[in-house]
Amino acid sequence: MATQSSTEAAVRPVNRRPRPMPWPLNIYQTAVGKKWVMAITGLMEIGFLVMHMLGNLKIYLGASALNHYAEGLREFGDPFAPREAVLWILRIGLLVAVVLHVHAAFSLWRMNRRTHPESYRSKRDYIAANWASRTMRWTGPIVLLFIFYHLSDLTFGGQNPSFQNGEVYHNVVASFSRPSVAAFYVIANLALGVHLFHGAWSMFQSMGINSPQYNSLRRVFAVLLTIAIIGPNISFPIAVQLGIVG
Amino acid sequence: MNLTLKVWRQAGPTAPGQFETYEARDISEDMSFLEVLDVVNEDLNDRGIEPIAFEHDCREGICGSCGVMINGQAHGPGFRTATCQLHMRLFKDGDSITVEPWRAASFPLIRDLVVNRSAFDRIIESGGFISVNTGSAVEANMIPIPKVVSDAAMDAAECIGCGACVASCPNGAASLFTAAKMQHLNLLPQGQAERWQRTQSMVETMEDFFGSCTSHGECQFACPKGISIDVIAYMNRDYLKSMSKNRKLGGQGLTT
Ligand code: FES
Give the alpha-carbon dihedral of B161, B167, B172, B176, to 10 degrees.
-40
Q: Which residues of B166-185 are buried (b: 16+ CB within 10 A; e: fewer)?
A: bbbbbbbbbbbbbbbbbbbb
Contact A245, A239 (CB under 8 A): yes
CA A37, CA A220: separation in Å to the nearest integer?
Answer: 23
**Ligand 1 pocket residue status of B110, Cβ below 6 Å:** no
Cβ of B103 within 8 Å of Cβ of A119? The answer is yes
User: Mapping DSSP to helix (H, G, I), strand (E, B) and coil, where does residue A233 land?
Assistant: helix
**Ligand 1 pocket residue status of B6, Cβ below 6 Å:** no
Burial label, A79 (beta-carbon count in 10 A; 0-12, 13-18, 19+)? exposed
Cβ of A117 within 8 Å of Cβ of B105? The answer is yes
DSSP character at residue A165: T
pLDDT at B251: 77
Task: Give me the long-range contacts of B77-83 (CB less than 8 A, separation at least 24).
Answer: B80/B223, B80/B224, B80/B225, B80/B226, B81/B224, B82/B160, B82/B162, B82/B224, B83/B32, B83/B33, B83/B34
Is residue A4's pLDDT more than 60?
A: no
CA distance B139 to chain A (A): 31
Is residue A1's pLDDT more than 50?
A: no
> For chain B, which residues make up each domain, given as ranges?
3-111, 117-248
Partners of A32 on chain B (C-beta within 8 Å) are: 203, 207, 212-213, 235-236, 239
Contact B199, B234 (CB under 8 A): no
pLDDT at A9: 61
Cβ of A24 within 8 Å of Cβ of B243? The answer is yes
How much is the mean pLDDT over chain A?
92
- Stretch 116-155 of chain B: residues touching chain A, C-beta under 8 Å: 116-122, 124
pLDDT at B104: 94
Q: Residue A8 — pLDDT band, cuts 50, 70, 90?
A: low
Q: Which domain holds residue A175?
A: 31-241
CA A223 to centroid of chain Cα atoms? 15
Cβ of B121 within 8 Å of Cβ of A3? The answer is yes
pLDDT at B255: 67
**Quick one: B3-111 is in which CATH superfamily?**
Beta-grasp domain (3.10.20.30)
Distance B61 CA to ligand 1 centre (A): 4
| pLDDT, greater one: B252 or A32 | A32
Is residue A189's pLDDT more than 60?
A: yes
pLDDT at B248: 85
DSSP character at residue B225: T
* Partners of residue B87 on adjacent β-strands: B32
A156 falls within a domain: yes
- Stretch 10-39 of chain A: residues touching chain B, C-beta under 8 Å: 10-11, 13-15, 17, 23-24, 26-27, 30-36
pLDDT at B128: 87
* Mean pLDDT split into 10-residue runs, chain B, 256 residues: 96 93 94 96 96 96 95 94 95 96 95 96 92 83 90 96 96 97 94 94 96 95 96 96 90 72
Measured N-to-C along each axis, helices A179-206 and A31-56 cross at an angle, to the nearest 10 degrees, of: 140
Most B CBs within 10 Å, among A7, A8, A11, to test the B interface: A11
Contact B66, B56 (CB under 8 A): yes
Q: Which CATH number fits domain B117-248: 2.40.30.10, 1.10.1060.10, 3.40.50.2300, 3.30.420.40?
A: 1.10.1060.10
Partners of A134 on chain B (C-beta within 8 Å) are: 170, 216
What phi and psi values does residue A138 have, to the nearest 5 degrees? -100, -45
CA B53, CA B140: separation in Å to the nearest integer?
Answer: 44
pLDDT at A3: 47
Question: Residues 6 or more apart from B40 whose CB is under 8 A from it?
Answer: B5, B7, B22, B24, B52
Contact A30, B207 (CB under 8 A): yes
CA A107, CA A100: separation in Å to the nearest integer?
Answer: 11
**Ligand 1 pocket residue status of B64, Cβ below 6 Å:** yes
CA distance A45 to chain B (A): 18
Instruction: Tell me the ipTM for this assembly.
Output: 0.91
Is residue A6's pLDDT more than 70?
A: no
CA distance B44 to chain A (A): 23
CA B50, CA A8: separation in Å to the nearest integer?
Answer: 20
CA B201, CA B255: separation in Å to the nearest integer?
Answer: 6
Partners of B8 on chain A (C-beta within 8 Å) are: 121
CA B136, CA B169: separation in Å to the nearest integer?
Answer: 42
Distance B38 CA to ligand 1 centre (A): 14
Q: What is the CATH number of the domain that holds A78?
A: 1.20.1300.10
* Counted domains in chain A: 1
Distance A87 CA to ligand 1 centre (A): 61
Cα angle: A105, vertex B109, A113; to 5 degrees = 10
